[in-house]
Amino acid sequence: MSTEIKTPNLEEIAANYKKVVAKLKRRIIICGGTGCIANGSMKVRDAICAELEKAGEHIEVVLDRHDCSKNEGVTYFSKSGCQGFCQMGPILRIEPEGIFYCHVKPEDAAEIVHVTLIGGEIIDRLVYVDPVSGKACRHEDEIAFYARQTRVVLANYMIEPDDVEEYIAREGYVGARKAITEMTPEQVCQTMIDAGLRGRGGGGFPTGLKWKFTLASQNDKKYVICNGDEGDPGAFMDRSVMEGNPHAVLEGMMIAGRAIGADEGVVYVRAEYPLAVERIRKAIADAEAYGLLGKNLFGTNFSFTIRVMEGAGAFVCGEETALIASVEGKRGMPMPKPPFPAQKGLYGKPTVINNVETLASVAYIIRNGAEKYREVGPQNSPGTKTFALTGHVANTGLIEVPFGTTLREIVYNIGGGVTDNTGKVTGEDFKSVQIGGPSGGCLVPDLLDLPLDFDSLKSAGAMVGSGGLVVMNKQTCMVRIARFFMQFTQNESCGKCVPCREGTKQMLALLDDIIEGRATAETLDLLEKTAKAVQLGSLCGLGKTAPNPVLSTLRYFRKEYEDHVFKKICPTGECKALARPEIDPALCKGCTACARKCPVGAITGKVKTAHSIDPEKCIKCGACKAACKFGAVKGI
C-alpha cells in the first residue's frame, strides 16, 4: 500500500495566511517568552480577554488565528517568543498602531480595553520611559534598545511561535526548498564558506568548512545535531530562539542535512528549558504534518527527520563529544580528538554539530546569498551576534548587533548606561564587562571602543563565547567575580582529566584564601601558574577556558588582587573578611543603639554625636548593623 507524500506549496500557504490576516481589525501580541511568562504575561492575556468578552459588542477577539477567517474585522490576540526587552516585561504590543506597553499587569486590563482598544488613546503610564532623557516612548522605533539593533536571527521575534503558516508567510522553508531542489551538497557548503558564517557557540569555527569535512566522510548514515545545551550563567540566547522561532532552527538543520548527506537530526536541549522543548516538539509535529519533514521532501529523493533529546543540564555537555555521549545514553564526558565528529560522531557515524544561533542563521544565507549576509560585520566575522545583556545596566535583555559593534555602543546606547547598586544610571560607574561566561574574560574601560568580533576579543584575552554580557559597576569586587565563575566550572567539571578536575579545585581554594585574608605573595604566583597549567593541559574546552576569568582579572585588576593579599582590604567592601567596619558620620545620629548591641565593646561615641568602630576589636558579627535604623554601619 503506497503512502501519499505531501509536497507543500509554500507560496500558496503564504498567500492564504496573508489573506486571512488582511481581514483583521487589530492584532494584540503578548510576550510569551519564559521571562515574561514568569512575570505573569499569560495572566495579563487572560485578564484582557475577560474584559474584551465583557465589551463584546465593541470587539470580537480570537486566540486561534484559524478563527480569524470566520468573520472580518476581528481582533487576533497572539503570543510571541521573547521580545528581547526582558527587563520591561510583561510586554504588550497593539498593531497596526504600533503601541508598546511595558510592565503590564492583569489589573491594567480594563484600562487597556476601554482606553486604548475602544477609546483609541494611549495610556502614558504604561509606555517605556528612557532612563536618561526621560522621554516617553510610545512606539518601538523610539526606543534606543530596539532602534540600534540589527536583527537577522531575531527578525521574526513577533511571530506566533506555534504557527508554522506565519513562519512560511515570512519566507520560511524557502531556503530549505532551494537547498534541496536547486543546489548540490557541495554548493550548499560553499555558500556557507563564502558567507563566512562562523560557529556561534563560542569556538567560531567556519560552519561551511565543518560541513564540507563531514560531506567528505563516506558513510551510509550521517547525523545533524543542534546543540541547545546553553549553560553559561546569565545566557539565554539559544533558549529564546528555540522558544520564539523554532522553525528557523529546524530549517537550518534541514539545510545542514542536505549539505552533508544526513537524513536524521537531533535537537539536544537541556531539560531546564521546558518551554523550548515544548515549542520545538510542536514545530517538528507541524513540519511533519505539512510535509516539510519526512520522506522525499519537495518531491526529491532527500529525506530528513528530527527528534528531540532532553539533556540533564551538565555544562560539559555543551562540548560536542560529551554531547554525543549523552545522546547515546552514556555519561557526558569529552573524548580526545581526533577523530572529530565529522569523521566519527553519533553512534560512530559522521556528524555535524552546530549551535542554535548558527543554524538559525543558515536559511537567511541560502535565501539571500552570501554577499547579502556579508553586508554587515567585518570580513573576518561577518553577520550578527545575539547577546544576553545583564548586570549593572539600565536596559537588560536579549539583543542582536553586527559583529564589530563596540562595547560602548552596547552598554551606553542599547543598554542605556551603567547603574549603581540602587539601579540609578550614572555617568562614570563602568568597571568591567564579563563576556563569554565562565569561558570568557573581562573587558575594561580602556576597551570600550574595541570592536566585538572573534579576533579582536581574542587579542584582548577574552572570547565571544555563547554571548553572555554581564556589566559590572565600580562597586563590584573582581576577585569575587573570578571566584564565582571558578566555582561554576569546578562544579561542572566532569572529572575525566586531572588538570581540570584538580586544577579548578586548587584555583578555587586559592581564591578563597585571597578573599578570606589568608593569602600571601606566593598565593598569587601559584594561582597564575595553576591557571596556565589548567589551560594547557585540559582535555576539552571547558577545562582549557576555565582559567580565563582568573587570568583576565589578574591582567586588568592585579592591584585589586594585591590589595586583598598585601593590604588585607577589599576596595569595594564586598569581601566580608576583608571589609573595614566603619560608621558613616553623615548618617549616624548618635542614638547609641549600635554600641549597646556590640558584644565586644568595639563601638565608642557620645549620645547625639557620631560613633566609631575599632576595627581591631570588631568581630564583624553584624549586631550593630542590624540595630542601626539609619544605615550608617558600613563594611559588615
Q: Residue 620: what pLDDT?
A: 80
Task: Look at domain 13-147 and name its CATH class.
Answer: alpha beta
Closest by CA position to 358, among listed 377, 397, 321, 385: 385
| Residues 18, 24, 25, 30, CA torsion sign | negative
Q: Residue 1: what pLDDT?
A: 36
Residue 237 near residue 231, CB atoms below 8 Å: no
d(CA 489, CA 499): 13
d(CA 98, CA 158): 12
CATH number of 580-634: 3.30.70.20
Q: Which fold has domain 479-567?
A: de novo design (two linked rop proteins) (1.20.1440)
Asked if omega into 90 is within 30° of 0 (cis), the reply is yes
* Residue 414 Cα distances to 35, 147, 377, 502, angstroms: 19, 8, 17, 41
Q: Residue 2: what pLDDT?
A: 42
Q: Residue 624: what pLDDT?
A: 92
d(CA 538, CA 534): 6
Look up cell 593569602; give the residue: 519
3-state secondary structure of 425: strand
Q: Which residues of the chain are modeled with pLDDT < 70?
A: 1-5, 57-59, 69-71
For helices 185-195 and 207-216, the axis angle rounded to 10 degrees is: 160
Domains of the chain by residue range: 13-147, 164-373, 384-476, 479-567, 580-634
Q: Residue 420: what pLDDT?
A: 85
Q: Does domain 384-476 have CATH number 3.40.50.150?
A: no
Q: Residue 493: what pLDDT?
A: 84
* Residue 84 Cα distances to 31, 146, 239, angstroms: 9, 9, 12
Q: Residue 392: what pLDDT?
A: 92
What radius of gyration, in Å, describes the C-alpha atoms of the chain?
27
DSSP type of residue 345: -
Q: Which CATH superfamily is domain 164-373 in?
A: NADH-ubiquinone oxidoreductase 51kDa subunit (3.40.50.11540)
435 sits in which H/E element: strand 430-435
Burial environment of residue 469 by CB neighbours within 10 A (0 to 12, 13 to 18, 19 or more): buried
Q: Residue 332: what pLDDT?
A: 86
> DSSP per residue over 241-302, as a string?
HHHH-HHHHHHHHHHHHHHHT--EEEEEEETT-HHHHHHHHHHHHHHHHTTSSBSSGGGSS-
